[in-house]
Amino acid sequence: MDLHEAGREVRRLRREIARHNQLYYQDATPEISDAEYDALDRRLRQLEAEFPECADAESPTLRVGSDTDSRFPSARHSHPMLSLQNSYEREDVEAFVQRVQKELGIDEIPFTVEPKMDGVAVALRYRDGQLEMGLTRGDGTHGDVITGNLLELEEIPAAVPKVAGLPSGFEIRGEAYLKLSRFQQLNEERQERGEEQLANPRNTTAGTLKTLDPAVVRSRGLSVFLFQLLPLETSAGVPFTDHRGELAALAQLGLPVNPFLRPATDVDGIFAALDDLESLRPQLDYQIDGAVIKVDPLEWQERLSATAKAPRWGLAYKFAAEESETRLRAITLQVGRTGVITPVAELDPVELAGSTISRATLHNWDELQRKDIRIGDRVVIAKGGDVIPKVLR
């Protein structure tokens, strides 16, 4: 590929990624899976590395996607709200561990592994124990002020108890999400009322936090997990020295913290934790899209610092999607050995749990009617216990 061709491809990728950012962050109606999005991002990164002439500070590889919504007031973040570098392969994790070891000049690094919640990032600012402001990530520098909506989450307290050593002002960050059981319940209720089905828990969470009616937020029953505590005044200290202590402090404040946290000191240890988490995944009542691997000591996190887009002390490791969304092209009929006729969904090909899927079962007519699935609809497919994928909704 010559420079001219590369330039054209880079521009095309940037346009395409910008369009998908808009669909994901602003409209909460993504058209492609995270894995497909990351493939575009990786391709663009490769080209930008290979052809430095194509570099551009505005490139989506260097910027955080924005969920800014002009209907809400905006406020500046106390600390930038960044993204995480994604990875899919063992080699990516090996490279991360090596880079951290090299930059710190230390071989034995304590890491933690925890679930990566597939929800929406939120920031909660407390001063003298009172919730002062709640924000979305926005463009990473400024977020939308959605305090009233966030207070409708049962797990977000308007006031927190005093915890020894904490500064008077601090910001807590985490991820709002919708439990799978609650999502199902909401869709059953909507079905009974003849309302359109909600597409998936993440989009429902994003859409809910951006409604202008707090009563709607309350009725949805969102949940939250918190995983970061930052002092509002940069000079203020915190009474913990590592990420594990940070989570313990959050729990002391009465905030929900994900119970899964595994320590690891090397790549094998990290993969043992990743395997544990992946095997737990089917039992979880929420969607995760992978795990986050973090350098545990906060002092070392600070030393590693961050790029404009993501901290250098953390890495997201993505699991293969268990559910994927695609378009129903047609419905065909399959006649079984015993003469049973099964409706089959013909789909736009999509990645699911590591393979490309273009057909899925619709089980039978009753099911088809009950789910009100029609040609041209966007459908969510999953691999059940058996090999043949099915249309969930």
Q: Which is nearer to ligand IVH, 267 or 292 (CB)?
A: 292
Q: Is 309 a catalytic residue?
A: no
Q: For ligand IVH, give the closer residue by CB, 134 or 311.
A: 311
Min CB(294)–ligand IVH separation in Å: 7
- Hunting for tokens 């992946």 — which residue is that? 278
135 binding ligand IVH? (CB under 6 A): no
**What is the closest distance, in whole angstroms, from the C-beta atom of residue 139 to ligand IVH in the complex?**
12
Contacting ligand IVH within 172-201 (CB under 6 A): 175
315 versus 345: smaller Cβ distance to ligand IVH? 315
Q: Segment 219-258, which members bind ligand IVH (CB under 6 A)?
A: 227
Task: Confirm or reject binding of residue 60 to ligand IVH (CB under 6 A).
Answer: no
Shortest approach of ligand IVH to residue 201 CB, angstroms? Answer: 14
77, 135 Cβ separation under 8 angstroms: yes
What DSSP character marks residue 158?
Answer: S
CA distance 259 to 256: 9
**Interface with ligand IVH includes 146 (CB under 6 A)?**
no
Q: Are 226 and 162 in contact (CB under 8 A)?
A: no
Q: What angle do CA 24, 225, 307 make, to 5 degrees?
A: 60
Angle between helices 34-50 and 3-21 (to 10 degrees): 150
Residue choice 114, 171, 246, 351 for contact with ligand IVH (CB under 6 A): 114
Distance from the first to the final alpha carbon of the chain: 43
Q: How far is the CB of 195 from ligand IVH (least distance, A)?
A: 29
By C-beta, is 136 or 326 nearer to ligand IVH?
A: 136
If one asks whether residue 117 binds ligand IVH (CB under 6 A), the answer comes out as yes
**Interface region with ligand IVH, contact rule CB under 6 A, candidates 40-48, 113-121, 127-135, 346-354:** 113-121
171 binds ligand IVH (CB under 6 A): no
- C-alpha 203/C-alpha 287 separation (Å) is 12
Whole-angstrom distance, CA of residue 21 vs CA of residue 50:
24
Answer for which of 13, 28, 47, 82 binds ligand IVH (CB under 6 A) is 82
Contact call for residue 316 and ligand IVH (CB under 6 A): yes
Q: Interface with ligand IVH includes 311 (CB under 6 A)? A: yes
* Encoded tokens for 356: 């490309």
- Is residue 383 near ligand IVH by the rule CB under 6 A? no
Q: Which is nearer to ligand IVH, 43 or 79 (CB)?
A: 79
Instruction: Give the three-class secondary structure for 190.
Output: helix
Question: Does 315 sit near ligand IVH (CB under 6 A)?
Answer: no
Instruction: Output the smallest distance, CB 337 to ligand IVH, in A.
Output: 46
Q: How many helices (H) and strands (E) does the chain have?
A: 11, 16
Q: By CB under 6 A, tell whether 292 contacts ligand IVH.
A: yes
379: helix, coil or strand?
strand
- Among candidate residues 116, 294, 318, 383, the one labeled active-site is 116
The helix or strand, by DSSP H or E, that contains position 250, with its residue range, turns out to be helix 243-252
**Cβ distance to ligand IVH smaller for residue 83 or 211:** 83
Q: Which is nearer to ligand IVH, 311 or 389 (CB)?
A: 311
Beta strands in the chain (DSSP E): 74-76, 86-87, 111-117, 120-127, 130-136, 142-144, 169-177, 223-231, 262-264, 288-295, 314-318, 323-335, 341-352, 355-361, 378-383, 389-391
Phi, psi of 36 (to 5 degrees): -65, -40
Which residues have a catalytic role annotated? 116
Question: Where along the sequence are the contacts to ligand IVH (CB under 6 A)?
Answer: 82-84, 114, 116-117, 121, 137, 175, 227, 292, 311, 314, 316
